[in-house]
């Protein structure tokens, strides 16, 4: 009787073959896929390839720029039907909302801690740079401010305010090419600021500058958890008292520390 030689494939090798086949089958769901020798893989788009590294825009589970050494790469599967460019893979628009605690100090105003809402839209046109526009709104803040009107000789006192600021700014992502899930950034900007004493039509007008730091963490698809700490200095130059515009003889200022959490959406 003739016997044919039968080669038995070890279970470990079977698992390896099955894993590679599964990766190949799934690769059709995404544009590009990089499989590492360690078994990890990333889905997204290849931005740039050199002899030593591959610059890769990861889109799943979150947006991230990766610089991967070629020595760690097992394979690169590209979607030849899709044309990629660096601008396409690095650009996104974001919208965020945060709830911040607001603690103020001033030699001109006496104000109590309050809650502040932050609304922001951003345009990240480069892996390390984003431009922002947004609002800071403090709906209810208690304090003590007395203003002397040199024209009429009246002294007006205010104890409750709401504050609205709007302007522009930017962010810098120093670790944009890192592989960690937490992405820290630095931010700063300029805002036009208006304080409105409650129960009146008076307005206190000025401007603010702010700097700070923050970090984002992916929580679900395009949604990210945001945490920020800001230092803000507000200076007030003009006031509308009973319909009359007047300037402050000396510029009152308020310094604030704001900190809190929120949610952002990236598209």
Task: Write the CATH number of the domain with boundaries 92-266.
Answer: 2.40.160.20
pLDDT tens readout for residues 188-243: 999 999 999 988 888 999 999 999 999 999 888 789 999 999 999 999 988 888 77
The H-assigned helical ranges of 53-122 are 86-90
**CA 195, CA 5: separation in Å to the nearest integer?**
88
Note the pLDDT of residue 80. Answer: 46
Cα–Cα distance for residue pair 72/80, rounded to 1 Å? 23
Distant-in-sequence, close-in-space partners of 14: CB < 8 Å, separation ≥ 6: none
pLDDT in tens, 16-66: 544 444 444 443 344 788 888 877 878 888 888 888 999 888 875 556 788
**Looking at the domain that runs over 11-84, which CATH code has it been given?**
2.30.30.100
Percent of the chain with pLDDT over 90: 40
Q: Where are the domains of the chain?
A: 11-84, 92-266
More confident residue, 1 or 247: 247
Average pLDDT, the chain: 81
- 86 or 187: whose pLDDT is higher? 187
Would you say the CATH fold of 92-266 matches that of 11-84? Answer: no
The residues facing 32 across adjacent strands are 44
Task: Give the global pTM.
Answer: 0.67
Question: If you write DSSP's letter for every residue of 10-69 in order, what string do you get?
Answer: PHHHHHHHHHHHHHHHHGGGSSEEEEETTS-EEEEEEEEE-SSEEEEEEEESS-EEEEEE
């Amino acid at each position: 009787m003739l016997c044919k030689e039968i080669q038995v494939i070890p279970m470990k090798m079977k698992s390896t073959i099955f894993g590679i086949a599964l990766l190949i089958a799934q690769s059709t769901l995404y544009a590009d896929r990089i499989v590492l020798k360690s078994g990890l893989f990333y889905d997204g788009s290849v931005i740039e390839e050199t002899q030593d590294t591959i610059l890769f825009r990861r889109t799943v589970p979150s947006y991230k720029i990766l610089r991967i050494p070629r020595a760690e790469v097992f394979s690169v599967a590209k979607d030849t039907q899709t044309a990629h460019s660096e601008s396409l893979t690095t650009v996104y628009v974001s919208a965020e909302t945060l709830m911040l605690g607001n603690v103020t100090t001033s030699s001109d105003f006496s104000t109590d801690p309050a809650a502040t809402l932050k609304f922001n839209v951003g345009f990240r046109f480069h892996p390390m740079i984003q431009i922002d526009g947004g609002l800071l709104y403090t709906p209810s803040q208690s304090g003590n401010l007395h203003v002397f009107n040199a024209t009429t000789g009246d002294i007006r006192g205010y104890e409750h305010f709401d504050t609205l600021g709007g302007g522009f700014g930017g962010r810098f992502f120093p670790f944009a090419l890192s592989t960690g899930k937490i992405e820290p950034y630095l931010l700063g900007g300029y805002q036009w600021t208006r304080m409105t004493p409650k129960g009146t039509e008076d307005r206190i007008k000025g401007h603010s500058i702010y700097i700070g730091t923050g970090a984002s963490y992916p929580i679900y698809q395009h949604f990210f958890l945001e945490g920020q700490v800001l230092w803000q200095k507000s200076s007030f130059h003009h006031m509308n008292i009973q319909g009359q515009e007047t300037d402050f003889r000396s510029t009152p200022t308020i310094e604030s520390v704001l900190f809190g959490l929120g949610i952002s959406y990236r598209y």
